[in-house]
Amino acid sequence: MQDFLAYTVLGICLGSVYAIAATGIVVTYTTSGMFNFAHGAVATMCALVYWQLNQAWHVPGLIAVVLTICFFAPALGIFLELVVMRGLRDTNEVTKLVVPIAVLLAITGTATWIWFRDGARAIVPKKFFGARNIDVLGQPVYYHQVIGVVLAAAIAIGLYLVMYRTRLGVTMRATVDDRRLLMLNGGRPDHASMASWGIGCGLAGLAGVLLASQQGALQVFALTLLVIDSYAAAVAGRLRSVPIAYIGAMVLGLARSYFDMVSNAGQNWPAIANMRNAIPAILLFAALLLLPQGRLRGAVVTRTRERFNVPTMKQAVAWGAILIVGVAMLQALMKGAAVINLTNSMALSLMALSLVLLTGYAGEINLAVYAFAGIALIAAWQFDVGPGGLATQESLSLAAIVLAMVICAFIGGLIALPALRLSGLYLGLATFAFGVIVYQLVILQPRPLQGSIFGQQFTVNFFTNGSVTVPRPRWFGVDFRNERSFLILLTVMFVVIGIMLIRLRRSAYGRMIIAMKDSPAACATLGMNITRLKLGVFMLSAAIAGLGGLMWAAQQRTVASNNNFDGFASLLLFMIAVVCGIGYVSGALLAGVFLSVLSLAIPNVFQKLGSDYESLHWLFVTGLGNFAKFVGAALIGIRLARNPSGIAQQVMDGFRPLRRVPVGTGVWVASIVIWWLLAWRGVIGNWTFALGVIVSAFIVPRLLMAMYPQRFIDEGNDGREDLDMIGLSRPFITSDRELFDRELAIPLARRGGSDVTA
């Protein structure tokens, strides 16, 4: 009984910190309509700033707290609102989630860059009032924790009053409901948004400072995840209710505390030793199951800024062939190490393809692609290799791949089901939670699962020794253990699945998926069972993610349990895929290249420059190299707000001149082939080749535009002539009349014929 009371007290202390974080999320969501995924990162950043002020610069504790929470955090929030979030109006749900994810990665990256660029170090923020404590029901409680409990309750009550009883609160809530109407009524929604981001980040900062000093040495990702745990509480309140979020946070804190009690801090049951860390994710699922079905969304805005064209099948097949030939030509020039990078990027592209279907076509979200990779890996290994060992197994069998994909689809369906009734954001959160559960309970599971079914003994191995080794395929008499042939195999796989996706997009099923994304409400009134369609898409996408993950693992041969499974890598993959152009198969290809280049190639280049020019080491390695490594990707993500259709679209627009001047295409292809031949024969080096191809690829289209200006008169207006300018830009001709009629959609029957003279 004494124990029970003591753990209750501890649970309430923890729950209070969660409550502060969760109310911050609720404030930002109810008042700006944005789910601030970066909340946890802001909290971590603030904890580090507090440490820097207080312990590194010896600013007195109280002043350091005030500076951090009342100045730094709100300033950061207002900065984010002004510079980043304001650009997200009229974008779809996916973009609205990706940009905060990019902010999360940028902030954690910056924190790592500033404080941890040379690896781990002991940053231990001090508790307020040190070790002074009072005795509550036999449990010593630090003043620090008491402050947390009191503040949490005060903030919950205070915010509730602000939101419902003050003019600012009404304005803030009105901002979400109808921004324009608010402006017409003399409200200032921009001010309200700024206030909400300021308050939200201030609360994140407070939670971070309170939490960090109870956790021992501060680790950026661990602390960020800990604050992300509080998202479950915010979801319980449907991201809108402060009181329910407060109660949810208490349940969360108590659940973790009681689990510690009954499991003796995880010691009693080694198989679920990490359950403590999975509890918030499990509670998030429980909350999703209990939430009532939301109203079916209509089209949010009449026209979102994301636009994706659909290639014809002919184009898809042609580009697929070009890709295979291109990769084959490219690898012939490359050294072994570079080929590995290229194979790695192709495997990542394959994983990103799953998101083209799910996110690009259907507008749904999966933030746990690597969790599916892990599941596929365990399944295929179990089927093909088994506990017996690898020695007997030389080839990854087709059957194992199919089995792994089926299992991924099945598990994907199971976890998506509770969230599909709700909006896409909830599916995103559910998948992220699922990723955390899989990581904590399956990937980090040190023990094999043993049991028996119908008298048959079985053993399922997870990442038993901290890693799993998968064989590479040997099919059709070709040994794909060879790096180069494996690269070609992955390229062919990418092309085949890519073409299948485009085929699907052009089919009736594809049109239904697009219709569902555009207006679920209209689809329902046309008789579509939306949940079933979404479920099907999610399962198919999970299967592709599993296949991609399996190939990604086979590319590395041995995958360690701490390799990319902790949730953040999935966020990065999702973000980069969206930035590259999630509506296109080519976007997935670019995503793989980007991830590979950003994580390997660019830091390597700066490393090389740093060692070549010793005196500028600080600039190249400490500065630019680390910056690119830790923050670069995220900054690209934040730019998405400016161009929501992604990079692939821009690249294709850049090549549009080629389509208009067929001769130009010939010149373009010829120039690249010539560069390749020169490199292949060893006349020029690889750097010269790369430079030459880049110059040819980008200069030739520009040259064509300069040489044949008359073919590009109408550029810059969605490819059509600007009708308002006719008569000024060129003389009016009789046939324009027909053009105007057509553009104004005057039905044929009533068009007066061509006898009218203008």
Partner 1 sequence: MSLLECNALNMSFGGAKVLSNVDITAEAGAITGLIGPNGAGKTTLFNVITGLLQPTSGTVLLDGRNITGLKPFKRSRLGVARTFQRLELFTSLSVRDNIRVAGEIGAKWQRNSADLTAETDRVLDQLGIRDLADRDVTEIPTGMARRVEVGRALMTRPKILLLDEPASGQNEDETDEFADLLLELCATGTSILLVEHDVALVMKVCSFVQVLDFGVVIATGTPEEIQSNSLVLDAYLGAEQTP
Residues in the site for partner 1, rule: CB under 8 A? 295-296, 298-299, 302-304, 307-308, 508, 511-512, 514-515, 517-519, 521-530, 742, 744-745, 747-750
Among 568, 105, 588, 99, smallest CA distance to 370 is for 568
Cβ atoms within 10 Å, residue 472: 21
Nearer to partner 1 by C-beta: 524 or 663? 524
Cα–Cα distances in angstroms (integers) from residue 418 to residues 423, 535, 543, in the given order: 11, 10, 19
Among 361, 356, 306, smallest CA distance to 516 is for 361
How many whole angstroms from its chain centre is CA 624?
24
Q: How far is the CB of 529 from partner 1 (least distance, A)?
A: 5
Nearer to partner 1 by C-beta: 465 or 525? 525
Q: How far is the CB of 118 from partner 1 (least distance, A)?
A: 49
**Phi/psi at 717 (5° precision):** -130, 60
Q: How far is the CB of 333 from partner 1 (least distance, A)?
A: 40
Q: How far is the CB of 743 from partner 1 (least distance, A)?
A: 8
Nearer to partner 1 by C-beta: 95 or 563? 95
14, 144 Cβ separation under 8 angstroms: no
Q: How far apart are CA 470 and CA 347, in angstroms?
A: 15
Nearer to partner 1 by C-beta: 419 or 437? 419
Angle subtended at Cα 469 by Cα 466 and Cα 475, rounded to the nearest 5 degrees:
165
632, 566 Cβ separation under 8 angstroms: no
Coil/strand/helix, residue 133 = strand
Q: How far is the CB of 524 from partner 1 (least distance, A)?
A: 4
HEC string for 194-209 = HHHHHHHHHHHHHHHH
How many whole angstroms from its chain centre is CA 282?
21
Q: How far is the CB of 720 from partner 1 (least distance, A)?
A: 10
Nearer to partner 1 by C-beta: 310 or 669? 310
Q: How far is the CB of 640 from partner 1 (least distance, A)?
A: 19
Residue in the block written with tokens 């400490």: 622
Virtual torsion, Cα 571, 574, 579, 583, nearest 10 deg: -160
In 67-188, which ranges are continuous DSSP H helix? 73-83, 93-115, 143-165, 167-177, 179-184
Nearer to partner 1 by C-beta: 652 or 705? 652
How many whole angstroms from its chain centre is CA 100?
9
Among 588, 564, 593, smallest CA distance to 577 is for 588
Nearer to partner 1 by C-beta: 524 or 673? 524
CB-count exposure of residue 525 (10 Å: 0-12, 13-18, 19+)? exposed
Q: How far is the CB of 191 from partner 1 (least distance, A)?
A: 26
Nearer to partner 1 by C-beta: 3 or 738? 738
- First and final CA of the chain: distance in angstroms? 95
Q: How far is the CB of 522 from partner 1 (least distance, A)?
A: 4
Q: How far is the CB of 8 from partner 1 (least distance, A)?
A: 37
- The one-letter code for the residue type at 107 is I
Nearer to partner 1 by C-beta: 518 or 715? 518
Nearer to partner 1 by C-beta: 499 or 512? 512
Nearer to partner 1 by C-beta: 309 or 710? 309
Q: How far apart are CA 754 and CA 734, in angstroms?
A: 8
Q: How far apart are CA 222 and CA 108, in angstroms?
A: 11
Nearer to partner 1 by C-beta: 521 or 707? 521
DSSP state letter for 618: I
209, 47 Cβ separation under 8 angstroms: yes
151, 20 Cβ separation under 8 angstroms: yes
Q: How far apart are CA 245 and CA 493, in angstroms?
A: 46
Nearer to partner 1 by C-beta: 702 or 742? 742
Q: How far is the CB of 534 from partner 1 (least distance, A)?
A: 13
Question: Which residues lie below 8 Å from residue 214, measured CB to CB, with a gap of 6+?
Answer: 17, 127, 144, 145
Q: How far is the CB of 512 from partner 1 (least distance, A)?
A: 6
417, 430 Cβ separation under 8 angstroms: no
Q: How far is the CB of 117 from partner 1 (least distance, A)?
A: 44
